[in-house]
Structure 1
Amino acid sequence: DGTPGPAGPRGLRRAEGERDRDSGLQVIAAFEHEFSLLGLPGERPAAAFSLQAQRAAGQFPGWLVSALAQAGTEPEMFLPEYGQRQYEVTCRPAQGVAAADRAVNVREVTREVARQMGLRTCFAPLPAPGAVTNGVHLHLSLQHADGSPLLYEPGRPNDLSELGEHWAAGVLAHLPALCALTAPTAASYLRLKPHHWSAAYACLGLRNREAALRICPVVSVGGKPLGKQYNLEFRPMDATACPHLAMAAVL
């Protein structure tokens, strides 16, 4: 009859969103995806995060961003990452189940654009022995129903509110169980190692890429309020995880 099944990941995420709304909360979220782009002509080593690495991708970034925009994912950035032929794509934050829907669309649209260009993409946590690992990072901002921030409180340590501290502590307390859903394959643990910028430590950090939960830096550009930007980044996740199930579990 079209009723969602009780164990469907998308239905679980939607139900979690309904509980949030009943509690007077709204969750703003976005997924970042890292992936390897393979089959580029005349591949040469390029410096990490460099314009040279961006140019090496040829027309792929433009085609991908255009396709993602047509798919309604509201892409924000395509940028070269630390590894050779490694890139990252981000989308505008969204409420409710839409953030996880966008994560699914990003993966499938990226693969299809690459296929049409005669290229290949690899979202695997470890694309090859000795390669730089690929992760998926979940950015979360908790707000009151009126849109005012719940995590941000100026003057407290790292501007994190008391409620935010409790929420972060809960995530970290349940981290071993959460990883069964956010890093669900054997390959996931080839990535989750110290010194891989991949969240090998169960801690909350500021500007610390080794922390499982990170307070993201915010800047006041053009008068934008810091509270609206303030978010926590859940890092021990990769593309072998189901976005809807992983996000519902973390929340």
Structure 2
Amino acid sequence: MTDGNLTSAEENVIERIEAADVDFLRLQFTDILGTVKNVSVPARQAEKAFTEGIYFDGSSIEGFVRIQESDMRLVPDPETFAILPWRRTEDSAAARMICDVYDTSTGDPFEGDPRYVLKQALERADDLGYTVSAAPEPEFFMFEEDEDGRATTETADHGGYFDLAPKDLASDVRRDIIYGLEDMDFEIEASHHEVARGQYEINFEYDDALTTADNVGTFRTVVRAIAAEHDLHATFMPKPIPKINGSGMHTHLSLMTEDGENAFHDEGDEFNLSETAHSFLAGILEHAPAITAVANPTVNSYKRLVPGYEAPVYVAWSDRNRSALIRKPAARVPAASRIELRSPDPSCNPYLAIAVMIHAGLDGIEKDLEAPDPVRENIYEFDEQKREEYGIETLPSNLGAAVDALEEDEAIYEALGDHVAPKFVEAKRQEFEEYLVDVSQWELDRYLETF
């Protein structure tokens, strides 16, 4: 029984907890680097979590607060309640809820919470009369484990793009992953083997941007957990194997008006894109270098973003080919008109990445930016002179250059907020500096006995 202070959604969660014999709740949130954290509490604490929140030490979380201001409060979002399929038994279950983080000293939402950063972007869109829909396409690899249970880079199969069993030996694992996702209320659109051996993609349906960002974190958790049940290690590392395609997270975006119409669609336009869509697209192109620091946030991300491996490194858009940074996918119905940003990878913090995409696009709308002409040729085949002729720039070639671009781009830096922006830059600068002073196995193999 509850004390009557709960909302109907919260009361529904209490009922589902009792009906499913849930004994533990995982209250989840992410740090600024996108790592999912959780505080586990007995399910009987659910009502307290809704009405009072659950306190935790924020000083131990990457990029949150200093030790002298460490008390933070988690408030679960009842709409994110889901039972964890791999933790269910005949007489008990575990469930999770995604939380918003609050500052206990002020009682306000914590500015360093990535979910809050995305909500701020959505508020900006709402002020302009739009809601934002998004759909990511996260790719991942599955590798075998060694006798000690540690990850190797030996792939679970040797299939290729859209291959079937027996080459795609991990199809049973993908099936179990899909069942697990569906148990957590995902609506799966498609699943297939990707281009590289041991690489896969599972697509879930378009949704509002906040739900989509929540779903990316859940997706990564489910994939890893169910792969582990099959003695496999799933990784969202962008480029775990040299000289083959890496893993991306192409992200589809569109705006909807207050009356439910797709603000990106215009039947009279050559590309069926409205002026709003053209300006949104132009904004993303304008801010692409800074977006890259957030959407491709690891040193390894830039091993994927190189020409020749189907990765989009050229700042251009196209209505028909995949060599450009932004693609306008074919839409069967007006409601499906959207753009696809192809550069993000699945190591990113989905809240921050989607937030900066939205801010960049809205900046384009507010400034009435004009998109350049689409490039319909294969940019991968252009030489430098031809790219200059078309005015096509390239994305930053490493994490250091991307962070430089972020710091120089006032609109995107400010979009991350006064707390997240400097903390994110500090963490990424440190990562890049550690990389620069490291000596790789490649260098040892090439130079140790030569010089």
**TM norm. shorter chain > 0.5:** yes
2:194–2:201 CA contact under 8 A, matched in 1: yes
Amino acid at match of 1:12: V
Give, in angstroms, the shift of residue 59 of structure 1. Answer: 1.7
Equivalent residue, structure 1, for 2:124: 19
**Would you say 1:6 and 2:114 are equivalent positions?**
no
2:311–2:343 CA contact under 8 A, matched in 1: yes
1:53–1:80 CA contact under 8 A, matched in 2: no
Counterpart-to-counterpart distance in 1, 2:157 and 2:198 = 9
Change (3 A) 1:20 1:56: same
Equivalent residue, structure 2, for 1:66: 179
Q: How does 1:181-196 map to 2 (within 5 A)?
A: 181-196=294-309
> What SS does structure 2 have at the residue aligned with 1:97?
helix
1:60–1:114 CA contact under 8 A, matched in 2: yes
Give, in angstroms, the shift of residue 53 of structure 1. Answer: 6.7
Change (3 A) 1:177 1:5: same
Counterpart-to-counterpart distance in 2, 1:43 and 1:111 = 14
Equivalent residue, structure 1, for 2:264: 151
- Write the deviation string for residues 187-209 of structure 1: whole angstroms up to 9, x where unpaired: 11111122322111101112322
Change (3 A) 1:59 1:44: closer
Equivalent residue, structure 2, for 1:247: 354
Q: Which runs of 5+ in 1 are unaligned?
A: 220-225
- Higher RCO structure (Cα 8 Å, ≥6 apart): 1
Q: How does 1:1-251 map to 2 (within 5 A)?
A: 2=102, 3-39=108-144, 45-52=158-165, 55-219=168-332, 226-251=333-358
Counterpart-to-counterpart distance in 2, 1:103 and 1:43 = 23
- Write the deviation string for residues 62-119 of structure 1: whole angstroms up to 9, x where unpaired: 2101111122232222111111121101111111411100011111110000001111
Counterpart-to-counterpart distance in 1, 2:131 and 2:155 = 47
Counterpart-to-counterpart distance in 2, 1:185 and 1:157 = 38
2:157–2:198 CA contact under 8 A, matched in 1: no
Change (3 A) 1:213 1:227: same
> What SS does structure 2 have at the residue aligned with 1:83?
coil
Change (3 A) 1:96 1:86: closer
1:150–1:164 CA contact under 8 A, matched in 2: yes
Normalising by structure 2, what TM-score?
0.52
> What SS does structure 2 have at the residue aligned with 1:51?
coil
- Write the deviation string for residues 97-155 of structure 1: whole angstroms up to 9, x where unpaired: 11100011111110000001111112111111123210011111111112111111123
Deviates more, 1:33-42 or 1:95-104: 33-42
Change (3 A) 1:99 1:190: same
Counterpart-to-counterpart distance in 2, 1:147 and 1:34 = 31
Counterpart-to-counterpart distance in 1, 2:309 and 2:198 = 17
Equivalent pairs counted in the alignment come to 245
- Write the deviation string for residues 139-180 of structure 1: whole angstroms up to 9, x where unpaired: 111111121111111231211111211111111011111111
- The answer to which structure has the higher helix fraction is 2
Normalising by structure 1, what TM-score?
0.91
Q: Which runs of 5+ in 2 are unaligned?
A: 1-72, 74-101, 103-107, 146-153, 359-451
Counterpart-to-counterpart distance in 1, 2:156 and 2:293 = 36
Amino acid at match of 2:337: Y
Alignment RMSD (CA, Å): 2.0
Counterpart-to-counterpart distance in 2, 1:99 and 1:85 = 25
Amino acid at match of 2:275: E
Counterpart-to-counterpart distance in 1, 2:156 and 2:346 = 25
Counterpart-to-counterpart distance in 2, 1:151 and 1:54 = 40
1:35–1:121 CA contact under 8 A, matched in 2: yes
